[in-house]
Structure 1
Amino acid sequence: MAERLADKVLSEQKSTTIRYDRDRVEYPAGPVLPLYAAEERGPQDEYRCLACLRVLSVRYSTFNGLTEADARSDGFSSLDELLGALQRFYGRIMPEDTVCIYEFALEPTATKRNTRGRNVVLESPSV
């Protein structure tokens, strides 16, 4: 996740994340996921683990079915801002394409930002 979005998670201004994969349906790997942050101008394969997130629910929507409420829970001020960010990150998404929405909460031990987050190198840049 981009560092500015991870900051919104840690300050509890973001409680969902929207995932898209052109030819697949996304599903979380487990009930607790690490929150990795990447500096926007940093190396694309180096991420810092900041916290753990408990997945509360998973739901699916079409891209054009996303709402203003989805935008706000994802840390954006408007639906247009959310849609633009998704298009920039994932490339062209068709209106009928399926997106996955994970609702999450910070694990209780992850209430403050870990300023000494460990760096990890991931095999795949999709986090």
Structure 2
Amino acid sequence: MKRINAYKLLASSRMVMVSYDKDLKRLLIWLIGGSRGGLMRYRILSTLRERPMNPNQLAKILNVNYRTVIYHLEILERNGLVTKAGEGYGAPYLISDYLNDRWGVLEDVVRLIMPRANKGER
């Protein structure tokens, strides 16, 4: 029996969108709040939201190593949060349509996580 993507079948259903937003929230909590590189991934996403950039441009703007940016971009791309526009060294990355349409979910997650991160900074 062929599996059918429920999202494609019920894309207009509000219930499906709520389910996908919950899944996105869980993913973001894990990627941003539940791992050591979460703050860097958030900085990359926020920077890419302003405009698409290649890894070298991101590294310069964020003042981090190029390999650090590549590592986090690969994680974000694997999880469908960024998209690479083209191939090769200078190919820019941009926020995926999926995340861009649900940017408020990321902001909610950051609001939940940042107070915890700030407690240790005194």
Question: Normalising by structure 2, what TM-score?
Answer: 0.32
| Larger RCO, structure (CA 8 Å, separation 6 or more) | 1
Question: Normalising by structure 1, what TM-score?
Answer: 0.31
Tell me which protein shows more strand as a share of its residues: 1
Tell me which protein shows more helix as a share of its residues: 2
